């Protein structure tokens, strides 16, 4: 009995001791090893999971221009009188890209004739918010009045406006609407009243409140979350969306610019990719096009990073490639894109940019050639692009791809072939289980420093699948990413850009998870992974400094991972620390070279005791919490919570520039 008790005491003491032993870390602000790229932490935008139409792009009407192959997709036509007509007319005189218009013919005053749009999994309106309804229309004969209503599922009306007459040639009709109540999944109903005939096109319902109040703009809440990340770059438009399932359906930026009512549309390559998450109504309207992406990057204070198709369709799908002697149009698209972004208003494409509202250049500095391409067919195409682009625009930095995997024969082959090329960055992707991220925190410590720099262009820790959509953004996945990112930061001399992927997912219309931000028709939630990205990005610093435990890099010993940076603009020393253990740890951080004053440090903690915890749209429980620490004799002493990510910010002088 006594022996048993002694054993028990010893056992608990060991646990207690292993959790509570004082761990000493040394941070050396005077030993700066490299600068950190201002573009270190950015965002990867792809139109997947209804991220563009139905998501970031604030338009609320689906298929408002009747261009979907089935012209009434998203619409319900109520035309009880057989004599009345509904016709979809291909009219190429108005636009070669948006060719269809709808003709409505109503033969009597008394009959009902309505068109109802379901939006993107419903239309979400917020009480007291203002919206703009618009459509293009032409009066054909008679006198038809249009009543516009937004209805709840109960049929209750929450917004209404009327156009008393539609007459004369094509023009835009607009009216403001104010929602008298909120609705999550409402519908827009157009009633044609009277007798006569009209043609209509480009039906639109748009919130007045968009990000930075841009017309044809972005959902303010979603773009606001992107803004809070303070991203260094915006990569667009993807992802596999760049490639298309086949070359005909590849992303062509020229179809996405110019007046919004003339833009074409194509099928979204994610619509039927996964049978279990099929979305046959998923198309790209291009209302959010390359001009808007450049504008977004500028509004976020980030560098634009467009990725262009390199004459290859998705190798997971058709794998179709353009013939080597037929690459010119693809290359021309790339060259013209640089002119669109940077050319003077005297140039063809610079003039188009100016006509869209941005005479000043967008100052494009980087371009990706191909997305997740692999093997010899990529290398030979990439090199042709590289030659043409570097000849005409030597100052533009090029991003080349290393394929879909973080290692293996295709990855090694791409690196071997491109190491001595003029590529400035190699794009590496890792979608792997959390354990891989913990185990690879040292991935770049011994990487070859010769050759292109690293763009960690797509990564996310893929935890187990569970039923609730947001649940795959588990706390464990976020913690694993944080641990791995300490390694990215420690190697910021080599790793110059990083982005989590994908960025956005609609809760009712997703294809791929995990994702950084989940949203529905009315609101959005930041995942734990989002907060990890935000803390790294908001406290990215300007220079790497060492943080060590017993003179070694801290990457897994005692279940701890750390990196440290100096922010010379803010006069801050910043330490990022991950504790993957289920016990708390007492640490002492010894900071060399601080003046002998008493300092205060901010400590920001993100944690959960449950590895499968997550933030849902209903309950965002994992949030950063902040507290103050005293630093005495250059020592910051803290008790680090179990399973946590901490950022310590030590302000050793006044900030030099505002963030």
400 binds ligand AHR (CB under 6 A): no
Report the residue number, 192 or 411, with the smaller CB distance to ligand AHR: 411
Question: Is 298 tagged catalytic?
Answer: no
Assess 104 for contact with ligand AHR (CB under 6 A): no
> Which stretch, 28-36, 68-76, 236-244, 342-350, contacts ligand AHR (CB under 6 A)?
236-244
Kindly tell me which of 146 and 229 has the beta carbon lying closer to ligand AHR. Answer: 229
Beta carbons of 67 and 255 less than 8 angstroms apart: no
Three-state DSSP class for residue 91: coil
304 lines the binding site for ligand AHR (CB under 6 A): no
Helix (H, G, I), strand (E, B) or coil at 487: helix
Stretch that binds ligand AHR, among 219-227, 232-240, 354-362, 480-488 (CB under 6 A): 232-240
Among 55, 74, 434, 502, binds ligand AHR (CB under 6 A): 502
Please report whether residue 350 would count as binding ligand AHR according to CB under 6 A. Answer: no
Residue number of the CB closest to ligand AHR reads: 239
DSSP, residue by residue, 526-588: E-HHHHHHHHHHHT--SEEE-EEETTEE-BSGGGEEEEEEEETTTTEEEEEEEE-SSS-EEEE
525 lines the binding site for ligand AHR (CB under 6 A): no
Kindly give the interhelix angle for 376-392 and 328-342, rounded to the nearest 10 degrees: 40
Nearest to 415 by CA among 429, 404, 426: 426
Q: Is 573 left (phi over 0), alpha (psi -120 to 50) or beta?
A: beta
* The Cα angle at residue 591 between residues 585 and 597, in degrees rounded to 5: 115
Tell me whether residue 350 or residue 370 sits nearer to ligand AHR (CB atom). 370
The distance of closest approach from Cβ of residue 403 to ligand AHR in the complex, given in angstroms and rounded to an integer, is: 10
Q: Is 658 exposed, middle or buried (CB count within 10 Å of its CB: 0-12, 13-18, 19+)?
A: exposed
**Cα–Cα distance between 650 and 628 in angstroms, integer?**
10
| Least spacing, CB of residue 28 vs ligand AHR, in Å | 38
Among positions 239, 304, 434, 528, the unique one binding ligand AHR when judged by CB under 6 A? 239
**CA 266 → CA 44, 67, 95, 131, 263, distances in Å?**
21, 9, 16, 27, 10
236: nearest Cα among 300, 280, 282: 300
Interface residue with ligand AHR, options 199, 261, 458, 470 (CB under 6 A): 458
The residue assigned the tokens 């140039």 is 347
Span of 233-241, 298-306, 590-598, 602-610 interacting with ligand AHR by CB under 6 A? 233-241
61 binding ligand AHR? (CB under 6 A): no
Q: Among the candidate windows 62-70, 238-246, 317-325, 533-541, which touches ligand AHR by CB under 6 A?
A: 238-246
The rounded distance, in Å, linking the Cα atoms of 178 and 96 is 35
Is residue 512 part of the contact set for ligand AHR (CB under 6 A)?
yes
Q: How many residues bind ligand AHR (CB under 6 A)?
A: 12
**Binding of ligand AHR by 264 (CB under 6 A):** no
SS3 readout for 167-220: CCCCEEEEEEEECCCCEEEEEEEEEEEEEEEEEEEEEEEEECCEHHHCCCCEEH
Integer CA distances (angstroms), 421 to 195, 400, 416, in order: 68, 10, 10
Is 240 near ligand AHR (CB under 6 A)?
A: yes
- At residue 320, φ and ψ (nearest 5 deg) are -65, 135
Task: Between 48 and 456, name the residue whose CB sits nearer to ligand AHR.
Answer: 48
Identify which of residues 84 and 243 has a Cβ nearer to ligand AHR in the complex.
243
**Distance from C-alpha of 209 to C-alpha of 432, rounded to nearest angstrom:** 38
Tokens of 585: 């740890």
- With the C-alpha atoms ordered 425, 247, 355, 288, is the resulting torsion angle positive or negative? negative
Is position 305 an interface residue for ligand AHR (rule: CB under 6 A)? Answer: no
User: Is there binding between residue 238 and ligand AHR (CB under 6 A)?
Assistant: yes
Minimum distance, C-beta of residue 512 to ligand AHR, in the bound complex (Å): 5
The mark string for 4-43 relative to ligand AHR (x by CB under 6 A, - otherwise) is: ----------------------------------------
Interface with ligand AHR includes 51 (CB under 6 A)? no
Which residues, 403 to 432, sit near ligand AHR by CB under 6 A? Answer: 404
Closest approach, Cβ 251 to ligand AHR, in A, equals 11
Stretch that binds ligand AHR, among 77-85, 160-168, 237-245, 574-582 (CB under 6 A): 237-245
Neighbour tally for 467: CB within 10 Å: 5
Return the SS3 of 345: coil
By CB under 6 A, name the one of 46, 118, 424, 463 that touches ligand AHR.
Answer: 46
Q: Give the CA angle between residues 445, 546, 539 to the nearest 5°.
A: 95
Closest to ligand AHR by CB, 322 vs 505, is 505
**Between 239 and 528, whose beta carbon lies closer to ligand AHR?**
239
Catalytic residue among 149, 273, 292, 372: 372
Nearer to ligand AHR, 309 or 371 (CB): 371
If the CB atoms of residues 23 and 51 are measured against ligand AHR, the closer one turns out to be 51
Which residues inside 353-392 make contact with ligand AHR, applying CB under 6 A? 371-372
Q: Cβ 460 to ligand AHR, closest distance in Å? A: 8
Query: Of 125 and 240, which CB lies nearer to ligand AHR in the complex structure?
Result: 240
Residues 275, 277, 280, 281, Cα dihedral to 10°: -170
Cβ-based nearer residue to ligand AHR, 192 or 437: 437
Residue 227 bridge partners (DSSP): none
Tabulate helix, strand, coil % of the chain (nearest 5).
Answer: 25, 35, 45
The Cα 220–Cα 223 span in angstroms is: 5
Near ligand AHR in 527-586, by CB under 6 A:
none
**Site for ligand AHR contains 202 (CB under 6 A):** no
Give the binding site for ligand AHR (CB under 6 A). Answer: 46, 48, 238-240, 371-372, 404, 458, 501-502, 512
Q: What residues are annotated to the active site? A: 372
């Amino acid at each position: 009995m006594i022996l048993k008790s002694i054993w028990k005491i010893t056992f608990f003491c060991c646990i207690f001791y292993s959790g509570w032993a004082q761990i000493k870390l040394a941070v050396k602000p005077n030993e700066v090893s490299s600068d950190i790229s201002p573009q270190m932490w950015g965002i990867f935008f792809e139109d997947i999971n209804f991220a563009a139409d139905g998501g970031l792009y604030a338009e609320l009407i689906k298929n408002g221009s009747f261009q979907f192959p089935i012209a009434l997709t998203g619409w319900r036509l109520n035309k009880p009188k057989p004599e009345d007509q509904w016709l979809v007319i291909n009219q190429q005189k108005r636009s070669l890209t948006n060719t269809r218009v709808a003709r409505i013919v109503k033969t009597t005053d008394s009959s009902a004739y309505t068109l109802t749009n379901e939006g993107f999994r419903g239309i979400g309106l917020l009480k007291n918010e203002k919206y703009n309804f618009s459509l293009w229309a032409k009066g054909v004969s008679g006198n038809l009045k249009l009543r516009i209503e937004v209805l709840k599922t109960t049929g209750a009306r929450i917004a209404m406006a009327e156009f008393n007459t539609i007459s004369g040639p094509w023009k835009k009709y607009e009216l403001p609407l104010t929602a008298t109540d909120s609705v999550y999944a409402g519908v827009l109903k157009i009633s044609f009243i009277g007798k006569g005939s009209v043609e209509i096109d480009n039906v639109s319902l748009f919130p007045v409140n968009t990000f930075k109040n841009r017309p044809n703009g972005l959902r303010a809440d979603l773009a606001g979350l992107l803004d809070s990340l303070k991203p260094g770059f915006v990569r667009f438009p993807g992802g596999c969306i760049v490639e298309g399932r086949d070359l005909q359906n590849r992303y062509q930026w020229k179809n996405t610019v110019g007046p919004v009512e003339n833009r074409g549309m194509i099928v979204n390559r994610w619509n039927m990719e996964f049978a279990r998450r099929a979305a046959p109504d998923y198309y790209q309207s291009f209302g959010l096009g390359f001009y808007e992406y450049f504008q977004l990057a500028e509004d976020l204070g980030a560098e634009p990073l467009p990725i262009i198709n390199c004459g290859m369709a998705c190798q997971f799908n058709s794998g179709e490639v353009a013939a080597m002697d037929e690459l010119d149009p693809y290359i021309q698209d790339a060259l013209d894109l640089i002119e669109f972004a940077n050319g003077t208003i005297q140039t063809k494409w610079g003039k188009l940019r100016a006509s869209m509202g941005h005479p000043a250049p967008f100052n494009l500095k980087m371009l990706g050639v191909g997305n997740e391409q692999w093997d010899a067919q990529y290398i030979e195409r990439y090199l042709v692009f590289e030659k043409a682009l570097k000849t005409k625009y030597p100052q533009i930095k090029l991003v080349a791809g290393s394929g879909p995997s973080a290692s293996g024969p295709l990855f090694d082959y791409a690196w071997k072939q491109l190491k001595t090329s003029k590529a400035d960055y190699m794009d590496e992707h890792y979608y792997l289980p959390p354990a891989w991220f913990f185990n690879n925190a040292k991935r770049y410590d011994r990487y070859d420093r010769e050759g292109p720099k690293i763009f960690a262009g797509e990564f996310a820790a893929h935890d187990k699948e569970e039923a609730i959509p947001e649940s795959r953004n588990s706390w464990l996945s976020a913690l694993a990413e944080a641990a791995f990112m300490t390694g990215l930061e420690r190697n910021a001399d080599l790793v110059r850009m990083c982005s989590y992927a994908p960025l956005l997912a609609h809760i009712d219309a997703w294809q791929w998870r995990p994702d950084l931000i989940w949203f529905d028709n009315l609101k959005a939630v930041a995942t734990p992974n989002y907060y990890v990205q935000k803390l790294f990005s908001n406290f990215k610093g300007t220079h790497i400094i060492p943080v060590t435990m017993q003179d070694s890099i801290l990457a897994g010993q005692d279940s701890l991972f750390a990196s440290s940076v100096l922010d010379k603009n803010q006069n801050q020393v910043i330490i990022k620390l991950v504790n993957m253990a289920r016990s708390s740890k007492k640490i002492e951080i010894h900071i060399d070279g601080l003046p002998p004053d008493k300092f205060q440090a901010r400590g920001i903690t993100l944690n959960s005791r449950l590895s499968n915890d997550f933030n849902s749209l209903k309950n965002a429980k994992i949030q950063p919490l902040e507290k103050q620490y005293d630093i005495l004799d250059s020592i910051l002493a803290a008790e680090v919570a179990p399973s946590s990510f901490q950022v310590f910010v030590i302000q050793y002088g006044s900030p030099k520039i505002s963030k």
